[in-house]
């Protein structure tokens, strides 16, 4: 990158003032991995406490703070910025744009994040306690929450503003800066999924901002949005929150679908099966996400007609998702498969995300949900779609594009060790949680009955191995930078797309002239 650097500042200030999409993408990815380790450490603290029944290492209140911060940081600090970072790095390269549409806003939207998370983490040092009501901050618990709840509200506002600015930037880049001849239906799938994700972000992040604003008003301005004593309704909170919350879970998985749809064709050496059905399926999932929110609330009470409506609509989401899984499998079918590290993570994604999807269908059944609700079964479900789902897809993307970023190939032995350690330990961690939940262990508890000890110890050991495997990933990265072997422009011989036409490492400025699309037609 050095030969091509044309920034005004050098040293650390370069990173603060940069408006280059590759620099900002790198910053996003480093930040998100840092937050991944921080929130992962909190998960380790929880698993240490849950290694044996009884309150040994911490009191219940500190445990609740760990639950809350782990969820908030993983969602808003690890998964979402990682996808935004990948979009920053790759979207301009994939559509042949010289940079993002609004480079200065890009810089601003990144640098809000460290401030927001500094505010959130500072609550751990405050008198009273950090937020301790879970990442869903249900009213009235959060209305009566500790004083640090106001910092939490500020954090949500800041990270929401950052997400919205990132989404506008990505959307405008995709819609306005595509290379001549790249029509919408010729865009790489990763770009498509991010375009749809940016619409979702613009639609629902303001709703999250609205609900925390109501919470703030209830806490300090004497309003009664959620306070029954003043004529409000705590259940209203759940409706508004999940109206944001359900599209939010698709925000965290649609870009992952895009990544897998890039990686699988490369290592199967076939074109993606059913490109247009992939696009329509992504759009359908995004649309449906607005009409299924109350499946999080079956036990909060709703009329039979409501429960049936949300139950059937939720099950319907499995149709476009099934189309995607079918297309991936059909792409693999009769392909010339090789199992490089990105492919391993992608295959792991398909298998384990499907497990998470199936437990999601079980939870969608309203009468069954009364049994599963607030049990470890739910924890198993959403960790299966988020860890071997979203996070494996992010690792797949990183291993897929890392040689493009650093210009060097990583060690296949080390990276595959990282994959196998992660894949085995992730199942060791989250699969027994299904059984714990079905046997009746409630979630968000620091203590449990004696019959759950064995499975909890397996889960904790699996969790520690998974945590250490991610530290090992740092070593893989270090060895890549120090000892990697140089690669050419086209890193993977089965890969297609404009990003493989620029040299590796990608120069600081690319596509100053729009590329000719014909060269890439195959």
Partner 1 sequence: MMPHHSPLIKRSILAIIMMFAFSFCMVPLYNALCKATGIDGKGLLQQDSQYTAGIDVSRLITIEFDSNVQPSLNFLFYPSTKKAKIHPGEPYTLYYHMNNLTSDLKIVQAIPSVAPPVGSKFIKKLECFCFQYQDFYPYQSLMMPLRIVIDPELPSYIHTLTLSYTLFDLSSHS
Euclidean distance between CA atoms 266 and 247, whole angstroms: 29
Euclidean distance between CA atoms 346 and 340, whole angstroms: 10
From 1, 48, 209, 361, residue interacting with partner 1 (rule: CB under 8 A): 209
Whole-number minimum distance, CB 163 to partner 1, in Å?
Answer: 11
Q: Is 321 a catalytic residue?
A: yes
290 binds partner 1 (CB under 8 A): no
Q: State which residue, 206 or 486, has the beta carbon closest to partner 1.
A: 206
242 binds partner 1 (CB under 8 A): no
Whole-number minimum distance, CB 104 to partner 1, in Å?
Answer: 11
From 236, 318, 445, 453, residue interacting with partner 1 (rule: CB under 8 A): 236
322 binds partner 1 (CB under 8 A): no
488 binds partner 1 (CB under 8 A): no
235 binds partner 1 (CB under 8 A): yes
From 58, 202, 445, 502, residue interacting with partner 1 (rule: CB under 8 A): 202
From 102, 313, 439, 445, residue interacting with partner 1 (rule: CB under 8 A): 102
303 binds partner 1 (CB under 8 A): yes
172 binds partner 1 (CB under 8 A): yes
225 binds partner 1 (CB under 8 A): yes
* Alpha carbon distances (Å) from 440 to 79, 364, 367, 384, 426: 29, 18, 16, 19, 22
| Among 336, 329, 288, CA closest to 312 | 288
DSSP strands (E only) in 308-446 = 408-409
128 binds partner 1 (CB under 8 A): no
Residue 485: phi and psi, rounded to 5, are -90, 135
CB atoms within 10 A of CB 45: 17
Q: State which residue, 194 or 345, has the beta carbon closest to partner 1.
A: 194
Q: 131 near 148, Cβ under 8 Å?
A: yes
48 binds partner 1 (CB under 8 A): no
Whole-number minimum distance, CB 319 to partner 1, in Å?
Answer: 27
Q: The dihedral of CA 315, 134, 396, 87: what is its sign?
A: positive
**Catalytic one of 21, 22, 70, 381:** 70
What is the per-residue DSSP string for 421-468? HHHHHHHHHHHHHHHHHHTTPBSS-S---GGGHHHHHHHHHHHHHHHH
Residue 486: phi and psi, rounded to 5, are -60, 150
Q: Is 262 a catalytic residue?
A: no
Euclidean distance between CA atoms 140 and 133, whole angstroms: 10
Whole-number minimum distance, CB 172 to partner 1, in Å?
Answer: 5
335 binds partner 1 (CB under 8 A): no
Q: 282 near 257, Cβ under 8 Å?
A: yes
From 101, 249, 366, 390, residue interacting with partner 1 (rule: CB under 8 A): 101
Euclidean distance between CA atoms 65 and 121, whole angstroms: 11
| Among 400, 256, 272, 396, CA closest to 321 | 256
206 binds partner 1 (CB under 8 A): yes
Q: State which residue, 228 or 351, has the beta carbon closest to partner 1.
A: 228
Peptide bond into 476 cis (omega under 30): no
Q: Is 289 a catalytic residue?
A: no
Q: Which tokens in the block code for residue 92?
A: 């301009």
Q: Is 21 a catalytic residue?
A: no
Q: State which residue, 172 or 315, has the beta carbon closest to partner 1.
A: 172
Q: State which residue, 366 or 428, has the beta carbon closest to partner 1.
A: 366
294 binds partner 1 (CB under 8 A): no
Residue with tokens 């239906």: 185
Q: 407 near 486, Cβ under 8 Å?
A: yes
Q: Residues 352 to 381: which contact partner 1 by CB under 8 A?
A: none
Q: Which residues pair with 408 in a beta bridge?
A: 486
Q: 28 near 419, Cβ under 8 Å?
A: no
Binding piece for partner 1, criterion CB under 8 A, among 231-239, 365-373, 458-466, 504-512? 231-239
- Quick one: DSSP state of residue 93? H
With left for phi above 0 and alpha for psi between -120 and 50, is residue 231 left, alpha or beta?
Answer: left
**Catalytic one of 22, 157, 324, 381:** 324
Q: State which residue, 57 or 202, has the beta carbon closest to partner 1.
A: 202
List contacts with partner 1 (CB under 8 A): 101-102, 164, 168, 171-172, 175-176, 202-207, 209-211, 214, 225, 228-230, 233, 235-236, 239-240, 243, 301-304, 306
Q: Known catalytic residues?
A: 70, 99, 135, 162-163, 246, 248, 250, 261, 295-296, 321, 324, 443
């Amino acid at each position: 990158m050095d030969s091509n650097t044309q920034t005004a500042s050098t040293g650390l200030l370069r990173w603060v003032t940069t408006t280059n999409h590759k620099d900002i993408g790198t910053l996003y990815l480093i930040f998100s991995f840092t937050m991944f380790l921080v929130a992962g450490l909190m998960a380790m603290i929880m698993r240490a406490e849950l290694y044996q029944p009884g309150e040994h290492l911490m009191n219940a209140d500190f445990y609740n703070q760990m639950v809350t911060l782990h969820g908030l940081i993983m969602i808003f600090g690890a998964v979402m910025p990682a996808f935004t970072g990948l979009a920053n790095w790759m979207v301009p390269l994939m559509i042949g744009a010289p940079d993002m549409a609004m480079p200065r806003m890009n810089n601003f939207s990144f640098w809000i994040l460290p401030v927001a998370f500094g505010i959130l983490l500072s609550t751990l040092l405050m008198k009273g306690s950090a937020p301790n009501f879970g990442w869903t901050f249900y009213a009235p618990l959060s209305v009566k929450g500790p004083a640090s709840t106001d910092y939490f509200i500020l954090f949500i506002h800041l990270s929401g503003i950052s997400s919205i600015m990132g989404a506008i930037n990505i959307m405008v880049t995709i819609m306005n800066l595509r290379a001549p001849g790249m029509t919408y239906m010729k865009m790489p799938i990763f770009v498509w999924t991010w375009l749809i994700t940016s619409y979702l972000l613009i639609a629902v992040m303001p709703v999250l901002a609205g609900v925390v604003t109501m919470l703030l008003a209830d806490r300090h301005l004497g309003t009664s949005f959620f306070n029954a004593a003043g004529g409000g309704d705590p259940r209203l909170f759940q409706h508004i929150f999940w109206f944001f919350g359900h599209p939010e879970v698709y925000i965290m998985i649609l870009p992952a679908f895009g990544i897998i749809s890039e990686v699988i064709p490369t290592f199967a050496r076939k074109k993606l099966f059913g490109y247009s059905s992939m696009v329509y399926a992504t759009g359908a999932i995004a649309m449906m996400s607005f009409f299924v929110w109350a499946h999080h609330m079956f036990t909060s009470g709703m009329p039979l007609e409501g429960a049936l409506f949300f139950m059937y609509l939720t099950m319907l989401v499995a149709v476009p998702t099934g189309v995607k899984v079918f297309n991936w499998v059909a792409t693999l079918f009769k392909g010339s498969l090789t199992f490089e590290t990105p492919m391993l993570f992608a295959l792991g994604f398909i298998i384990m995300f499907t497990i998470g999807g199936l437990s999601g269908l079980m939870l969608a059944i309203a009468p069954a949900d009364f049994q599963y609700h607030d049990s470890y079964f739910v924890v198993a479900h959403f960790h299966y779609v988020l860890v071997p789902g979203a996070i494996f897809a992010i690792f797949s993307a990183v291993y897929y594009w890392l040689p493009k970023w650093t210009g060097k190939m990583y060690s296949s032995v080390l990276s595959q060790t990282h994959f196998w350690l992660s894949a085995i330990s992730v199942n060791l961690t989250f699969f027994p949680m299904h059984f714990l939940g079905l046997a009746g262990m409630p979630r968000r508890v620091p203590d449990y009955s004696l019959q759950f000890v064995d499975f909890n110890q397996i889960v904790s050991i699996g969790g520690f191995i998974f945590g250490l495997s991610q530290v090992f990933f740092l070593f893989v990265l270090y060895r890549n930078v120090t000892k990697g072997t140089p690669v050419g422009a086209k890193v993977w011989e089965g890969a297609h797309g404009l990003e493989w036409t620029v040299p590796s490492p990608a120069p600081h400025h690319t596509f100053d002239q729009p590329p000719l699309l014909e060269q890439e037609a195959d």
